[in-house]
Amino acid sequence: MYGLVPYNISPIQQGIQFGHAVVEYSIGRYGSHDDYKQWAKEDKTFIILNGGTTNDNEERLGSLNKSVRRLEDICIPYATFNEPDLGDQLTAVVFLVDERVWDREKYPEFNKFLEVDHTNLEKDYYKQLFGNDSTWILEMREFLSNYRLA
């Protein structure tokens, strides 16, 4: 389970906010999904990332809020938590990530050693590696590359 939390709360609060969002994920519409059951029964790994700022003002939308919109755009199931003691600001967003996104040993990046236009080769490589899921897997890899551990 990956999660994004604001940079400006203490590490213990980041963990607590992440936990709140995991509960929301489990009691929400995704708790009965097979991938969640697998994660809850077997995997249980938490990856808490620095999501930046939180602000729901449309004129100055926080990076955490923008991340939620991006997850919606690429159709990734997620849950959020808004902390009542912090003015109901968004303090965590969590989502499950398929191993094909994070396991670069089993699912390596395309090797761009060729000094030619490799666009079609790269597309074919990922299509063969990931099948019909190649687009969203690559989008999730790109999305997660923007974050570091909290």
The pLDDT assigned to 58 comes to 92
Return the SS3 of 30.
coil
Please say if the pLDDT value at position 116 is more than 70: no
Return the SS3 of 2.
strand
CA-angle at 128, arms to 127 and 129, nearest 5°: 95
The model's pLDDT over 57-81, given as tens digits with 9 standing for 90+, comes to 999 999 999 999 999 999 999 999 9
Mean predicted confidence (pLDDT) in 69-95: 96
The pLDDT assigned to 117 comes to 61
* Sequence-distant contacts of 58-62: CB under 8 A, at least 24 apart: 62/6, 62/90
Instruction: Quote the CA–CA distance of 18 and 95 in Å, as a whole number.
Output: 11
Residue 122 to residues 74, 83, 93, 104, 105, Cα–Cα distance (Å): 21, 43, 31, 16, 17
